[in-house]
Amino acid sequence: MKRTCSRSGQALVLVVILLAGALFAFLGFAVDLGRLYLIRGELSVAAESMALAAAEQLIGTSAAAGLSQTAASLAQNSDNNGDNRFNFGGNQIGSTEGALTSQVEELELYATYNDAVSGDVGATTDSSAARYVRVRVQAQAPLTFWRFLPVGQSGVTPIEAGAVAGISAPLCTVCGMDPLAVVRPNPDDETDFGFVRGLQYTFYSQCAGPPPPALAGAQALMQYTLLNRSPENSSDLDQGVFRLLAGGIPAPGFPASEDSTLTCPTIGVPELRLPSVSVAPCNAANRGPIVRDTVCGLNARLTSAPHAACNPITDIDSVIQSYPPDSDVDDHDDYLDYAGNRRRILTVAIVDNLPLNAAGTMNVLGFRQFLLGPNPGLTELNPGDPVGRFVAMYVGYPAPVRQGQFGSCGVTQGPGKVVLHQ
């Protein structure tokens, strides 16, 4: 009888030992697996932020690939974005030192969505045609319990994550654009509305009578007016117009409420022009301060020093510091040669007419983009020009806008925004 009890006790001890071992193995498996999932999630967040940053630079120029790579590297750098680390935030992505190394593969650029999401490296495209970017991140993940198994004896295992970002379909509502409206030259042209890509246009503020002479080198004339927008909580009209033209229509909240002074323009929705815009004869010696404020704001995209004609604007010397000029202010005959940070790319509303009075409406037909340039023979604009003339090259709609919304407006061509695809 005693011998039977002794054997039962021994068996119970063995069972307990086996169960403890199984539980230990299960917990070890769970800990390592959970850590691998966590690291993969950290790598995915990093890849997504890099892809979004890189896609912002896909503006259809020869420099777009290099600018995209720089933007991705800035997003990768932990000094700029502390979230882009892995292993509980303890290791920097892209580091080749230490026990846990990681690397970011060279960006892959694609012209179509299908090529981008399929990851077909053979379908990559060049800088000017790229509309999508893929980012791949690899890292070594540590193993704690699995290293006791034959497959984990090295103590680490590779983990990979990727992301695709690109420019979306055309938007019906565009936020953060410039408060400029121009009339389509050709109602039958649904792609470019009659504008010619690569052609330099002389823009001039809407006026009555024979048009002013074109600026040298930009013989095509184009009237413009200002959309009825004013910065919220701004009582200084001159400074407000300067800010709108120097930085575009701000969009602090999206979508803006219908009664906001910063409502985002929408295709098919009528617009009013800024009431203070004066539609005087084109040969008038002085068209009013709004014309000056408009060109002063645009000029801030080319230089950080306010033009002498802009001195009447309140605090112009300090206000202009909030709107640094483009990183590329050279005069280009070919948009492909532009290598700036998009400050000079103007996104304007294409409308069916420019109303002569403040109560008249204009219907938004679409949005298109122009590259602002210095006046011929100069390095900046001339805010003292009585009709607010400046030169801009029509480029179509290559650059993504800051914000926007899709809808049922039915457009198939136009600027989009950067979105994450995968």
Q: SS3 for 157-172, per residue?
A: EEEEEEEEEEECCCCC
Q: Quote the pLDDT of residue 222.
A: 96
Residues 186 and 163 in one domain: no
Q: Quote the pLDDT of residue 150.
A: 57
Q: Specify which residues 86 forms β-bridges with.
A: 91
The set of residues, in sequence order, having a beta carbon less than 8 Å from that of 417 and lying 6+ positions away, is 167, 168, 171, 400, 401, 402, 403, 404
Closest to 397 (Cα-Cα) out of 366, 418, 369: 369
3-state helix, strand, coil in the chain (%, to 5): 30, 25, 50
Q: Is residue 3 part of a domain?
A: no
DSSP H stretches of helix in 119-249 = 237-247
Please give the residue range of the domain that contains residue 38: 13-167
Question: pLDDT for 192-248, tens place per residue?
Answer: 999 999 999 999 999 999 999 999 989 899 999 999 988 755 678 899 999 999 999
Residues 131 and 280 in one domain: no
Q: Is residue 6 part of a domain?
A: no
Q: Is residue 7 part of a domain?
A: no
Q: Quote the pLDDT of residue 417.
A: 96
Q: Is residue 253 part of a domain?
A: yes
Q: Quote the pLDDT of residue 141.
A: 78
Q: Specify which residues 92 forms β-bridges with.
A: 85
How crowded is the C-beta side of 343, counted as CA atoms within 13 Å? 21
Rounded Cα distance between 371 and 175, Å, is: 18
Residues 368 and 225 in one domain: yes
Rounded Cα distance between 15 and 10, Å, is: 9
Q: Is residue 91 part of a domain?
A: yes
Residues 53 and 134 in one domain: yes
DSSP annotation of 85 reads E
Q: Is residue 74 part of a domain?
A: yes
Q: Quote the pLDDT of residue 8.
A: 62
3-state secondary structure of 288: coil
Rounded Cα distance between 305 and 398, Å, is: 29
The set of residues, in sequence order, having a beta carbon less than 8 Å from that of 400 and lying 6+ positions away, is 55, 56, 58, 59, 167, 168, 415, 416, 417, 418
Closest to 111 (Cα-Cα) out of 100, 122, 102, 103: 122
Q: Which two tokens stand for residue 44?
A: 């995915």
Cβ(25)–Cβ(59) below 8 Å? no
Rounded Cα distance between 411 and 312, Å, is: 42
Residues 75 and 145 in one domain: yes
3-state secondary structure of 372: strand
Cβ(272)–Cβ(225) below 8 Å? no
Q: Is residue 142 part of a domain?
A: yes
* Domain endpoint, select from 119, 137, 167: 167
Amino acid at 89: G
Hey, how many other C-beta atoms are within 10 angstroms of the C-beta on 9?
A: 10
Q: Is residue 146 part of a domain?
A: yes
Please give the C-alpha separations between residue 294 and each of 201, 206, 310, in angstroms, as whole numbers: 17, 12, 10
pLDDT averaged per 10 residues in sequence order, the chain, 422 residues: 56 56 54 73 86 94 94 74 66 74 86 85 81 90 67 70 93 94 95 96 94 91 93 78 92 53 88 89 83 96 95 95 96 95 97 92 97 93 94 97 91 95 78
Residues 52 and 38 in one domain: yes
The domain total for the chain is 2
Q: Quote the pLDDT of residue 260.
A: 59
* Domain endpoint, select from 123, 152, 167: 167
Cβ(60)–Cβ(395) below 8 Å? yes
Q: Quote the pLDDT of residue 253.
A: 54
Residues 158 and 293 in one domain: no
Rounded Cα distance between 72 and 371, Å, is: 24
* Domain endpoint, select from 138, 167, 196: 167
